[in-house]
Structure 1
């Protein structure tokens, strides 16, 4: 069942908002266009709005473009239990959205945390998700002999890698919530391709005894992020809080256990990767990209955008939109194959 939440009547290529029921509650989505379903999944700390540039482009190319608010974000449900944000729950949400929209299959696209969510959705449900595009975070199959938090705890010596810093409930919330807007501005700018590296140390490591934001840049907003964009993001988190989004990080060890049956498993559907030259995960996970012939055996193409940072679909909106459409049109059964 779906529940319209927009007072205006959607028609043609105009976007509309909708709530759909899932086993975990509800998922808010924004949809535009008609045709084969393309489901877009955002990362941290973002929302459906991070796909604002690609929604009309993909819709105009002949697709039903849909961007969701991941559980914990925006108008989607925000379960209280930390365990409700495990990877399997996110996969179930994506499956429920496709079924609620009446589609028999979908292409899934993910950025940042949305990339592993999209990857695992395609991995676990290849019957429903026919292709996957991964932005900024390369695909790395579940593996290793140690839980992820043990691995991250060894990084940075006395300093804390941001994923480890986010593990303790309430700690990051206490840093962020007194001034959500300023914190977001620093986080976005710090991972942007326009901002120079910090002279004080690695940007996304908290200094010993300090806060993550101590190393955020104190510069004007990057060109791709307007004051109005920042207002939108800040408003979403001021209303909904940060605990749900941060709980995604707090389930990484549980995911490692839950996905043990898929240890080392490749994704066999057609795939695409887009990363930024100056993006942390693109650099840190270079070995994962080198492994793509094994882990993504049907990779169509891989693109590293020169001078770009982490927020690829916002920093290089037109280029990413064109890459996605070209890839979509080449997939079997899409508008480009008619």
Structure 2
């Protein structure tokens, strides 16, 4: 995959990598982790959107609701329902959790900030929380959005922070197709489908990071300067953020595989196993990219040392060439009275000629030895 991308990319210049300039991006806090969920500092979303897919094998109804109260009728309906809430507000989350009998601990996790990916089974509800990753092309940064998914017997409720984007369109398209596997499946299959598209999107983010790491390898060879080092550190920071976000997702999916909850059917376990395999591959790729960016940093230092060695080599050659000439000039510049050469009529020209011949001879020897 990396070789095919590299063959399509031209040799980059500084202008081609302006997006990797860390000085144009607001510094991110990579150590932001707040496990305390009792007191949430989350700001309420300015806008909120509630969409509902109510379906069975033969019918599917898609609605955009104007209020949360309209979702209450779907709790006990015999059909299957996916309720997606874009934009989190504390009052809205509390209202829907109270009606759908969702434990207060789950409600706190939904409203938390910087929460580690996790999976819980409380009562008759299965809950998971994980990051949804996006690659921002304008700033070359990785944006994260916390997604919470609650599964009941005949409903799945997903909570998203950002009402303007998500990666669930493939799931929506499958729900609109009569007779599709997701239409004929149960809620555990819908939950699997949501997890699957989130994990699959991780690979797209990794592809973008891989392209920029390869570009950086070429830049290091052509422009090993302090600005390039800043870009390497910036890119390493993004890889670290990505790795830290997806690492716990592996245990999250493993929790579904080990769960004995009645909401999970045995014939759906193989699908969760597929997601588990994907997240393992994703973690392995993230580790490889982390090693690659460290190798790029080592390459930068090697190029810098090579450049410094070349400079020192030139200075050493110049110094060596001038040393004997300086010695000769120093000897004849002592102005002693008993120096016969000082009385020579053409001594000045003989001395300059000898110094020139010596210089040419030394240059010839150095070139023959390959010193420059």
TM > 0.5 fold call: no
Shorter-chain TM-score range: under 0.3
Higher fraction of helix: 2
**Larger RCO (CA under 8 A, 6+ residues apart):** 1
Tell me the TM-score normalized by structure 1.
0.20
Tell me the TM-score normalized by structure 2.
0.18
